[in-house]
C-alpha cells in the first residue's frame, strides 16, 4: 500500500506506538490522519501537533463496536473513505488459568474483538474500492507467548489468526493485512505490565527495549511492502520458526528462560 495521499485511522494513538505511527504517517504524506484513543484530551494534543489541516482526534473506546463504527464514519466525513486502519489499542491482562472471567473477557474484547469491530467498520468500503490495508498491533506473543499473562497471550494469538484469515479471504481483492509484532517497547504499557525489578531485568536480558519511533518505522515499511508479519526485534522470527519446526524444543527453551534455567 502507498501511504502518501492515504486516509488513515489509528487507535490507541494518544501515546506510545500509536502516537508514533500517527505522527510518522503524517510525515510520510498521509492526506488525513484520525488520532483515536480512549483518552480524548491526549488524542487532541497529538492531532494538534500534526496539524488541523491533516489530522483530527476522536475519542473512542475500541471495546464498543458502535463507537468504532462512529469513529470510521467521522473519518469518512472529514477525509473520505479510510485507506488504512491501524488497530493499535490494546490492554495488558496478567494472570494464569485462574484469572477472573472478567479479566479474560476484557482481554478478548480489547485485544481481539476490537480487530473484528474494525474490519466490520472499514472492510465493506475497502472491498468496494478494491484497495485498503489493516494493520493490527499484536506483539510477538501473538505467535510466541507472554510470561505470566495467559489472557493476553490467548487474545493476541486469536488476533493473529483473524488477521491471517482476512489476508487469505480478501487479499485477492486488494486488501492488505499486517500484524505488527514488537516485544519490549518503551511505552506506558510496558511500565504498567512490569510489576517488579526482577521482571524488568529478565525482560531486558532477553529482549532489546526499542523506542516507539523505531517500531513505527518498521510498521510503515511493512505496510508499504504488504508484509503479513512485521517483526521488530531480533530473534522473534527465529523463535517463531523454531516453534513451528520443533515445538517441544521451543517449549523447553521458553520454560528455561521463564524459570531461570530450569527446563
Query: Is the separation of the CB atoms in 213 and 186 below 8 Å?
Result: no
State how far the Cα of 180 lies from the Cα of 109, in Å rounded to an integer. 18
Q: Is 170 a catalytic residue?
A: no
State how far the Cα of 93 lies from the Cα of 99, in Å rounded to an integer. 9
Query: Is the separation of the CB atoms in 129 and 81 below 8 Å?
Result: yes
State how far the Cα of 73 lies from the Cα of 59, in Å rounded to an integer. 13
Lookup: cell for 138: 499484536
Lookup: cell for 263: 527446563
* Active-site residue, selected from the candidate residues 117, 152, 165, 170: 152
State how far the Cα of 257 lies from the Cα of 263, in Å rounded to an integer. 8
Secondary-structure breakdown of the chain: helix, strand, coil percentages, each rounded to the nearest 5: 55, 15, 30
Lookup: cell for 145: 507467548
Strands across the sheet containing 175-181 = 55-59, 32-37, 7-10, 84-87, 132-137, 175-181, 229-231
40-50 and 16-27 helices, crossing angle to 10°: 20
| Beta bridge partner(s), residue 210 | 185
Beta carbons within 10 angstroms of residue 212's beta carbon: 20
Report, as residue numbers or ranges, the catalytic residues.
152
Amino acid at each position: 500500500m502507498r501511504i502518501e495521499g492515504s486516509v488513515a485511522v489509528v487507535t490507541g494513538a494518544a501515546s506510545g506506538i500509536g502516537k508514533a505511527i500517527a505522527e510518522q504517517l503524517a510525515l510520510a504524506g498521509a492526506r488525513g490522519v484520525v488520532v483515536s484513543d480512549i483518552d480524548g484530551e491526549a488524542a487532541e494534543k497529538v492531532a494538534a501537533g500534526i496539524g488541523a489541516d491533516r489530522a483530527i482526534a476522536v475519542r473512542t473506546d475500541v471495546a464498543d463496536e458502535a463507537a468504532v463504527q462512529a469513529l470510521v464514519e467521522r473519518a469518512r466525513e472529514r477525509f473520505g473513505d479510510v485507506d488504512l486502519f491501524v488497530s493499535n489499542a490494546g490492554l495488558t491482562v496478567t494472570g494464569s488459568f485462574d484469572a477472573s472471567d472478567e479479566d479474560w473477557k476484557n482481554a478478548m474484547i480489547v485485544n481481539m474483538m476490537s480487530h473484528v469491530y474494525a474490519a466490520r467498520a472499514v472492510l465493506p468500503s475497502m472491498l468496494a474500492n478494491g484497495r485498503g490495508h489493516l494493520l493490527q498491533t499484536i506483539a510477538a506473543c501473538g505467535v510466541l507467548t507472554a510470561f505470566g499473562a495467559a489472557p493476553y497471550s490467548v487474545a493476541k494469538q486469536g488476533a493473529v489468526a483473524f488477521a491471517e484469515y482476512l489476508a487469505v479471504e480478501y487479499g485477492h481483492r486488494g486488501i492488505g493485512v499486517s500484524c505488527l509484532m514488537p516485544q519490549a517497547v518503551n511505552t506506558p504499557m510496558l511500565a504498567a505490565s512490569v510489576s517488579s525489578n526482577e521482571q524488568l531485568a529478565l525482560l531486558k536480558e532477553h529482549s532489546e527495549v526499542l523506542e516507539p519511533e523505531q517500531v513505527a518505522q518498521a510498521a510503515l515499511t511493512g505496510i508499504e511492502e504488504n508484509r503479513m508479519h512485521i517483526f521488530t526485534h531480533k530473534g522473534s522470527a527465529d523463535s517463531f520458526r523454531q516453534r513451528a519446526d520443533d515445538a517441544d524444543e521451543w517449549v523447553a527453551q521458553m520454560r528455561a528462560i521463564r524459570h531461570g534455567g530450569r527446563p
